[in-house]
Amino acid sequence: MEDLNFNRIVSQQFDRAAQYLKVPPSLLAQIKVCNNICYFQFPVRFGGDHYEIFEGWRAEHSQHQKPCKGGVRYSEMVTADEIMALAALMTYKCAIVDVPFGGAKGAIRINPKKYSVEQLERITRRYTAELIKKQFIGPGIDVPAPDYGTGPREMAWIADTYQALHPGAIDALGCVTGKPVTQGGIRGRKEATGRGIYYGIKEACSSKEDMARLGLKTGLEGKKVIVQGLGNVGYYAAKFFQEAGAILIGLAEYEGAIHDERGLDLDKVFNHRRDTGSILNFPGATNIVATKQALELPCDILIPAALENQITGENAPRIQAKIVAEGANGPTTFDADQILIAKNVMIVPDLYLNAGGVTVSYFEWLKNLSHVRFGRMGKRFDEMSANRLLGAIEKTTGERITDEDRKNITKGADEVDLVNSGLEETMISAYVQIRDVKNSVKGCPDLRTAAFINAINKIAVAYMELGIFP
């Protein structure tokens, strides 16, 4: 029977990559192991004598860079092994995109849909208090972020609780990222993971050699796409692909899936689900009751953006996508990897592809520490400089530049412009590194192994430069 333990799957992926590196075994063991994991139970009072006991975790996989960084997950299915695996992926993810954090992950075993907003606030604040007591949170220690089941609202509660218990701490807002913009967040963070997926696949599809091997043309226009998961990550990934000219032929959620070869209008599907509670019965689309069957439909790009272990040894032989773009963490098992590689499927791995979130979280953290919005200092100066230059050109040539062209040319960069530009540069640079490793390391079978090789090598160098290992 296939091993679906997420932590062991990540370990197998690590071991497969480590064999290509000339790194001492003791250092590999240090990089691989999860340094700290804190498990605790905490009570929350919901009025009168009614208390509930909740289980919480925070794992810090590596402190080779500080602070540690990773999301907080709210799920009934969460386990310690899952949290350690996700923390490990965060370590490798940060290394791949050159973000100076160690990996971490947190969770509460809870179904947030079963609780009111007031109750969720009490649970979140109590969880934060436990992290503070155990020194598992702080702008220079460990910085949480949103994950499955959480969002900006929960991050605002975490930040407020931290500030209340650290009066006068000038950098307190840097204790968590993914906050609302009004509470120290950064523009572009909400859509960052989905946008990062778009940038990553756009770069992957720009290689004539790689696309020819898959029987595809370069670019995204006209490519048929199926997305699993219509949450924050899946929605924005689908949105950006559709805007780039890709055809969204399938969407899958926990209640089922829909398919239309002519293409689905994402916003109309989203509104249909809001109004009816389900994506099923969308006008003109075919219902697929078994969600996972949607993953097996013919398409150019399949984006699993839900939970882990969605493509396994059981259904991998039936996957017909030419590119699997891992929007979620760990959607493909180790056994499924081998099957897809043998079928000449390009897997763009999670530890690279969904790193857009942590990249923009890094920008938010920098903003919180610098106490200034990106673009505030230079925007007007850049606009005035560009206007002076255009004025000189007009004077020299005698030709007048139209008001519309002048407006477009002289526009200074807002915060969101700088964030998106930095994210695109990060995703392109990281992909180039990974692809270079795959093509230069003899026997490297796929992009996932190349990504692990790249990450492990960077972390090993960091340890050596610290003098911990010779």
* DSSP symbols for 157-224: HHHHHHHHHSTT-TTGGGG--S--GGGT--TTSTTHHHHHHHHHHHHHTT-HHHHHHHT--SSSTT-E
Beta bridge partners of 145: 71
Residues 6 or more apart whose Cβ sits within 8 Å of residue 410: 383, 386, 387, 390
Q: How far apart are CA 187 and CA 201, in angstroms?
A: 23
Q: How far apart are CA 420 and CA 361, in angstroms?
A: 12
Contact yes or no for 349/325 (Cβ under 8 A): no
- Residue 401's pLDDT is what? 87
Quick one: pLDDT band at residue 379, thresholds 50, 70, 90?
confident
- Residue 132's pLDDT is what? 98
Quick one: pLDDT band at residue 49, thresholds 50, 70, 90?
confident
Q: How far apart are CA 458 and CA 452, in angstroms?
A: 10
Checking if the pLDDT of 470 tops 70, the result is no
Length of the chain (residues): 470
Contact yes or no for 65/74 (Cβ under 8 A): no
Per mean pLDDT, which range of 210-224, 379-393, 433-447 is the poorest? 379-393
- Residue 289's pLDDT is what? 85
Q: What is the rounded average pLDDT of the residues 268-285? A: 94
- Residue 4's pLDDT is what? 85
List residues with catalytic annotation.
105
Q: How far apart are CA 362 and CA 355, in angstroms?
A: 11
Sign of CA dihedral 334, 340, 346, 350: negative
CB-neighbour burial class of residue 367 (10 A; exposed 0-12, middle 13-18, buried 19+) = buried
User: Which residue type sits at 395?
Assistant: K
According to DSSP, residue 412 is labeled P
More confident residue, 245 or 406: 245
Quick: pLDDT tens for 120-156: 999 999 999 999 999 999 999 999 999 999 999 999 9
HEC string for 241-271: HHHCCCEEEEEEECCEEEECCCCCCHHHHHH
Quick: pLDDT tens for 319-368: 999 999 999 999 999 999 999 999 999 999 999 999 999 999 999 999 99
Q: How far apart are CA 18 and CA 57, in angstroms?
A: 28
Tokens read off for 365: 């953290």
- Residue 56's pLDDT is what? 98
Q: How far apart are CA 110 and CA 105, in angstroms?
A: 16
- Residue 283's pLDDT is what? 95
Tokens 């949105």 correspond to 239
Say whether domain 192-353 belongs to CATH 3.40.50.720: yes
- Residue 383's pLDDT is what? 85
Of 97, 94, 52, the closest CA to residue 71 belongs to 94
Checking if the pLDDT of 469 tops 70, the result is no
- Residue 185's pLDDT is what? 97
Tokens 């109309």 correspond to 268
Q: What is the rounded average pLDDT of the residues 261-272? A: 95
Q: Where in the chain is the domain with CATH 3.40.50.720?
A: 192-353
Checking if the pLDDT of 441 tops 80, the result is yes
- Residue 466's pLDDT is what? 79
In this structure, the number of other CB atoms found within 10 A of the CB of residue 95 comes to: 31
Q: Where in the chain is the domain with CATH 3.40.50.10860?
A: 36-185
Q: How far apart are CA 188 and CA 364, in angstroms?
A: 10
What is the average pLDDT value for the chain, to the nearest integer? Answer: 95
- Residue 387's pLDDT is what? 84
- The CATH fold assigned to 36-185 is Rossmann fold (3.40.50)
Beta bridge partners of 250: 226, 259
- Residue 34's pLDDT is what? 96
Contact yes or no for 4/92 (Cβ under 8 A): no
Q: Percent of the chain, pLDDT > 90?
A: 86
Checking if the pLDDT of 407 tops 80, the result is yes
Tokens 């599809």 correspond to 205
Q: How far apart are CA 145 and CA 356, in angstroms?
A: 13
Tokens 């650290």 correspond to 166
